[in-house]
Amino acid sequence: MSVEAPAATGNMGEPHPRFDARLKVTGGARYASDMPVDNPAYAYLVTSAIARGRIVSINLGEAQNVPGVLHIMTHENTSKDVKDSKLFSDGGFSGTSIIPLQSDKVWHDGQIVAVVVAETYEAAREAGYRVKIEYEAEQPSATFESNGVQVQAAADVKKTHEDPKVGDFDGAFASAEVKVDATYFTPTQHHNPIELFTTTCAWAGDKLTVYEPSQTMYGMKNGIASQLGIEPEQVRVVSNFVGGAFGSKGSLTPRTALTAIAARRVGRPVKLVATRQQGFTIATYRAETKQRVRLGASRDGKLTALSHEGWEVTSRPDNYMVAGTDATTRMYDVANVQSKVSIVHADRNTPGFMRSPPELPYMFGLESAIDELAYALDIDPIELRRKNDTMKEPIKGLPYTSRSVMQCFDEGAKSFGWSKREPKPGSMRDGDWLVGLGCAMSCYPTQMAPSSARVRLSQNGELRVETASHEIGNGAYTVIGQIAAERLGVPYEKVSVVLGDSDYPAAPVSGGSITTASVCNCVAEACDAIRAELGINDPKGDVLAALKSRGRGAIERYAEWTPKGVPDGALAKLYSGQAMPTGGTKDKERIMFAFGAEFIEVRVHQRTREIRVPRIVGAFAAGRIVNPRTARSQLMGGLIWGVSSALHEATEIDKRAARYVNKDLAEYLVPVNADIDQLEVFMIPEEDHEVNPLGIKGIGELGNVGTNAAVANAVYHATGKRIRDLPIRLETLLA
C-alpha cells in the first residue's frame, strides 16, 4: 500500500518521514547483534526437553570434544552466579523469577539448561546438540482444565490489586430486562519480533557493556548489576535500534546475566543469538485467558449491570497478571459493576507484557458482549454504545480528562458506510460470499512516567537531544526531534536525537505507550530552560540569534520531568530503573484514556468458509498527534495485528507435554500482505491539556485493542455464528 502522508490537521504536528526509515531499508541501522566486538566467542542455549521435573545427570563428554568449544555452563558450575531473581513487579527487574542454571529443577518446557560457548556459532550449536541430559520427568499441567493447576484470586496474591466494584451487581442483574451471559477465550500468543533475542556482552576490566535490543536501558543496567552482584555504574547497555519488541524486550530475561557470566569466564566477548524456537520459551508471551461477561440492560438499552471475571495462566512461581477489568469496568455508564481476576498457575514459562497486555484480551470479552447485547435488544451496536457513553467512569465517579469515543464512531461509521448495513445476521451477500460488518470500541490508558533528558543548542544551529529512551519502531527518534525543533524554533533537519544508551540521562521503560508523552514533555522542559536562560520567552523569538549575540558557543540544559500525581522519589526510582508509569486509572482525581472505533468487513465463503477481510477502518482520538505519518503507521500496524489476533495468531500447546508446538513463523501464522486489503486510519483532533502539558496521549497500543471483537462481531453478522474463542478459523465456522 502506498498513500500520501496524512495532512496535519487541528493540533497535529508535521508528518515528517521517520528519521530511521532510510537507515532501516538500507541496512544502515545497526541492531544490537550487529555491533562489532573484538574477538567474540559464540553462545548457544540448550533448552529442556521436559516441562516439569529435574535434571538427573548431564553428560558433557561428547559436547566438550567438539572442536572449538571453550566452556559449557550448567547448574553444576553456575548455581551461585546469579544473585537476584526478583520479578519486576516485586521490586526486581526480571520478567521471570525462574532463573536457569540455579538448580536441577525444571519449571517449564524449553527452559535454559546449559549454555555452550565456542569459537563459532556452528561449533557451539553442534556441541549443544551433543549435551546429553537425563531427566526425571513429572506430569506437567499445561493450561486451564489441566490436572494440577493452582487457581488463586488476584486480590489474594497481590496487595495492590483491586477488583473494581460498585453498586449491587447481583440484584441489578437478577432484575435486568435483557441479559447477556457469555464466556470468552483468548489464546496464547507470542510477540515474535523479527529481530531475535540477542545479547552480546563484553567486559573491560570490571566494566561490562551489554548490547541487547531492549525497551528498558536503565532497567537492564540496574537489573544486570543486581543479578551479577556488581554496581550499576559498572554496566553500560547499548541498544540504538530495536527490531520489534512489543513488550518482549521490556524486562530482563535470564539470558543476559548468563551471557555476561559466560564472557567473564572465557575472558572475551560473547555473542548470543537465540533461535526463533527458543524465543518462545526463554522470554515472555501473552497468556491465554478465559472470561465470563454478564451484562444486564433495560429494554431501551440502558446498561444496568456489568460483571467481568477473568482467568489468566501464569507460571508456577510467578503471580504475573494483566487484569484488564481495570479498564473494562470503566468504559460504560453502568451503576452496578463487579469484577474478579484469578490467576491459574501451570508448568509454563512466565508470561509478560505483550502489546496492550490487559486491554487486548479483556476488551475482546467486553466488546463481544456489548455486540451480543445489541442483538438481544435489537438496537444498532453504535447506538447502544452512544446510549451508555459517559464522561465519568462509574467505579469512583472520576471524570475523563477527555473522551471522544462517539466522535470516533461517527467519523468511522461515515467512511465505512455503516448506514448501508442490514442489521440481520446473514442478510448481506455478494455471490457466494456472506458479508458481515462489525465494530468495536478501542481504548488505551494514557500513562506517563518520570523522564530526564539533555538538550544542547550550538552556535552553528545544531540541536542535540540525549536521553536513554528507545527506538522500538515507535518513531521515538523522529517525534522527540520534532518537539525539540518546534520548541526552540530550529529547523527539524538540524536536530539530532541520540537514544538507546544507558550513559545518557534516564528515560522510563518504553512500555504502556508512555514514551512520546513522557520523553517529549521532558525535552520540552529542557528547551524551555534554554529559552529562559537566553531570556527569549516569546515562542516566536529567535533563540539562535540570542545565543550568538551573547557570544556563547553552545547552551546545554538537563531536565527532569515528573507527571502530575507521581509519588515522591519517582525520579530516584527512574535512575534505579524502576519507575512505574502513572495516569490511566491510577490517578486519584481523574481518569485518562485514548479511544477509538474500529470497523471491519468480513467475507465468509458460504461453502468453504474461507474468511477474508476486505476492509478495515479505524478512527482514533488520542490527544495531540505529534507526527500524523508515524502515528498512522503505528495505528495501521495495530489494526493489522488486531485482525491477526482474531483470525490467525495462536500458540498451540501440546497439553500432555505442556509444550508449544508451532514455534516458528511457518506455523505461527500472521497475516501476509495479501490478507490485508483496504485499510483506513482517521485521527480525530483532540485537545487535552490535563493529561500532560503537551497534551499527548499514547497511541502505541491503541490500534490493536478491540479489533478482535470487531472481527468476531462482523463474523456473527455475516454468518449468525457467535465465535467466543479466538482465533476464528474456518473450521470453527464449518462446525
Partner 1 sequence: MGFALHEAKTLAEATMLARDLGPDAMFIAGGTDLIIQINRRVNTPRDVIDLSRIAGLSGISHAGGVFRIGALTKHKTVETYPAFGFGTPYAGLREAARVVGGHQIRNQGTVGGNLANASPAADLIPPLLALDAELDLVGPSGTRTLPLNAFFLGPRRSVRAHDEIITEVRFRDLPPLSAIAFLKAGRRKAMEISIISVAARLTLEADGRCRDARIALGAAAPTPIRAREAEALLEGGVPDEGVVAMSARAALTSVSPIDDVRASSEYRRLLVAALVPRALKICIDRIKSARS
β-bridge pairing 270-273 and 433-445: unpaired
**Calpha distance 84→324 (Å, rounded):** 29
Instruction: Tell me the site size for partner 1, rule CB under 8 A.
Output: 21
**Least distance to partner 1, CB of residue 673, Å:** 7
Question: Helix 359-377 vs helix 707-719: angle between axes, to the nearest 10 degrees?
Answer: 30
Find the part of the chain contacting partner 1 (CB under 8 A) among 31-39, 372-380, 479-487, 659-667. Answer: 659-667
For position 734 contacting partner 1 by CB under 8 A, the verdict is: yes
Helices (H), 229-294: 254-266, 276-282
Closer residue to partner 1 in complex, CB, 55/611: 611
Sheet holding 289-297, edge to edge: 150-153, 336-345, 303-314, 289-297, 178-186
DSSP state of 561: E
**Calpha distance 697→578 (Å, rounded):** 22
Please measure the distance between the N-terminal and C-terminal CA atoms of the chain and give it in whole angstroms: 35
Question: Helix 476-488 vs helix 515-534: angle between axes, to the nearest 10 degrees?
Answer: 30
For position 729 contacting partner 1 by CB under 8 A, the verdict is: yes
For position 385 contacting partner 1 by CB under 8 A, the verdict is: no
Closer residue to partner 1 in complex, CB, 216/278: 278
**Least distance to partner 1, CB of residue 727, Å:** 10
Closer residue to partner 1 in complex, CB, 139/662: 662
Closer residue to partner 1 in complex, CB, 119/138: 119
Q: In this structure, is the dihedral angle defined by the CA atoms of residues 454, 227, 356 and 321, taken in order, positive or negative?
A: negative
Closer residue to partner 1 in complex, CB, 266/669: 669
Coil, strand or helix at 287: coil
For position 564 contacting partner 1 by CB under 8 A, the verdict is: no
Find the part of the chain contacting partner 1 (CB under 8 A) among 81-89, 373-381, 603-611, 616-624. Answer: 603-611
Q: Which of 610, 654, 687, 725 binds partner 1 (CB under 8 A)?
A: 610
**Least distance to partner 1, CB of residue 596, Å:** 25
Cell of 49: 526437553
Beta-carbon contacts of 151 under 8 Å, excluding residues fewer than 6 positions away, are: 311, 342, 343, 344, 345
Closer residue to partner 1 in complex, CB, 3/665: 665
Residues labelled catalytic: 701
Closer residue to partner 1 in complex, CB, 37/730: 730
Cell of 254: 535470564
Question: 69-128: which residues touch partner 1 (CB under 8 A)?
Answer: 126
Beta-carbon contacts of 206 under 8 Å, excluding residues fewer than 6 positions away, are: 230, 234
Question: 127-146: which residues touch partner 1 (CB under 8 A)?
Answer: 129
For position 678 contacting partner 1 by CB under 8 A, the verdict is: no
**Calpha distance 320→335 (Å, rounded):** 30
Question: 480-499: which residues touch partner 1 (CB under 8 A)?
Answer: none
* Residue whose C-alpha is closest to residue 118's, from 127, 110, 109, 108: 127
For position 608 contacting partner 1 by CB under 8 A, the verdict is: yes
**Least distance to partner 1, CB of residue 608, Å:** 5
For position 62 contacting partner 1 by CB under 8 A, the verdict is: no
Beta-carbon contacts of 551 under 8 Å, excluding residues fewer than 6 positions away, are: none
Find the part of the chain contacting partner 1 (CB under 8 A) among 51-59, 110-118, 184-192, 727-735. Answer: 727-735
Amino acid (one-letter) located at 231 = E
For position 165 contacting partner 1 by CB under 8 A, the verdict is: no
By the criterion CB under 8 A, which residues form the site for partner 1? 126, 129, 605, 607-608, 610, 648, 652, 662, 666-667, 669, 671-675, 729-731, 734
